[in-house]
Amino acid sequence: MTAHKTERLKSIVEPIVREKIRSGDIVDVRVNGGEDADGDDIIVVNVVFEGRLDPIETAQLTRFVRNELLAIDDRRFPHTSYISKTEAGNRAAA
């Protein structure tokens, strides 16, 4: 996926994440294209956070993101992961 397309997706996904996840501090939202185990195109969303997240908020997020993607005729399914700031820092250092 080109950098322009990635930034466009991030500009759609990040505001939804920040609006819907209020229980923790969202540090970063990383959005990239990808492929699932079946070879289908997907959107990978990594939410980097501090604190505790409400599981109800996280469970509902995919629906909100998916609706916005469908509104722009993007049929890829968003796969969302939640990564603590500490874990994200450890991954970057590895």
CATH number, domain at 19?
3.30.300.30
Q: Is the pLDDT of residue 92 over 90?
A: no
Using one digit for the tens of pLDDT, what is the confidence trace for 4-30?
888 999 999 999 999 999 998 999 999
* Nearest one of 83, 25, 21, 70 to 43, comparing CA atoms: 70
Tell me the C-alpha distance between 51 and 92, whole Å.
20
Q: What is the domain extent for residue 88?
A: 3-93
Residue 40 CA to chain centroid, in angstroms?
Answer: 17
Q: How confident is the model at residue 94 (pLDDT cuts 50, 70, 90)?
A: low
Q: Is the pLDDT of residue 64 over 60?
A: yes
The answer to whether the predicted template modeling score (pTM) of the entire model surpasses 0.75 is yes
Q: Is the pLDDT of residue 91 over 90?
A: no
Using one digit for the tens of pLDDT, what is the confidence trace for 65-74?
999 999 999 9
- Domains identified in the chain, total number: 1
